[in-house]
Amino acid sequence: MYKDLILGMLRAGIFGFGGGPSVIPLIRHEAVTKYKWMDNEEFGDVLAIANTLPGPIATKIAAYLGYRQKGTVGAIVGVLAHILPTCLAMVFLFSFISILSHSPIITSMISAVVPVIAVMLGLMAYEFGEKAMKGLGIYVGIGLTIVCLILLQTFSIHPGIVVLVFLTYGAFHFKLKEKFIHKKERGQ
């Protein structure tokens, strides 16, 4: 339904204060929780692949969600609903609001939204962590998450590269696991 697509992407676009990352949990809410266009796992794939590609994250995801629902026209509709209102606001309200953007009230309004976004991102982390532990076992799941954290934070390796490394290993994961189990069985 175009109406759902437009409403969902519109809401994610106009309530995501704080740039691209803040939009991600909002898009997920619309796509996974509210309209059930896909499950959380597939959304994880979308997010991961989006991270390996250059350019803004949120618009890519909006385009894909639209495409998945309604093909090429859906992709265009999804992106436009997501970005057009704020892009037009940028053009028309600039001289008007640029004064306001330095006002302390506007600044504190926006800062009050930041902890909310943080909680949303934290909840997403929890859900994906739960999935990781279910699929990989508690120890491997937590262990790999910690390895990723160290790669991202301590070594400042680019997220896209970390995703690529894990995707590459993931492609062989089940084959290697099978081999490992075979070996164990033969050993016994």
Binding residues among 51-90 for another protein as defined by CB under 8 A:
51, 53-61, 63-64, 67-68, 75, 79, 82-83, 85-90
- Cα separation of the two ends of the chain: 57
Letters for 124-163 (x = contact with another protein by CB under 8 A, - = none) are xx--xx-xx--xx----x--xx-xxx--xx----xxx-xx
CB of 15 to another protein, least distance (A): 4
Two structure tokens written together for 123? 């909840």
How many residues touch another protein under the rule CB under 8 A: the total is 105
DSSP letters of 68-127? HHHHHHHHHHHHHHHHHHHHHHHHHSHHHHTTGGGSHHHHHHHHHHHHHHHHHHHHHHHH
Residue closer to another protein, measured from CB, 1 or 88: 88
Q: What count of Cα atoms within 13 Å lies in the side-chain half-sphere of residue 65?
A: 37
Determine if 8 is a binding residue for another protein (CB under 8 A): no
Counts of helices then strands in the chain (DSSP H, E): 8, 0
| Of residues 161-180, those binding another protein (CB under 8 A) | 162-163, 166-167, 169-175
Which of 119, 137, 179, 182 touches another protein by CB under 8 A?
Answer: 119
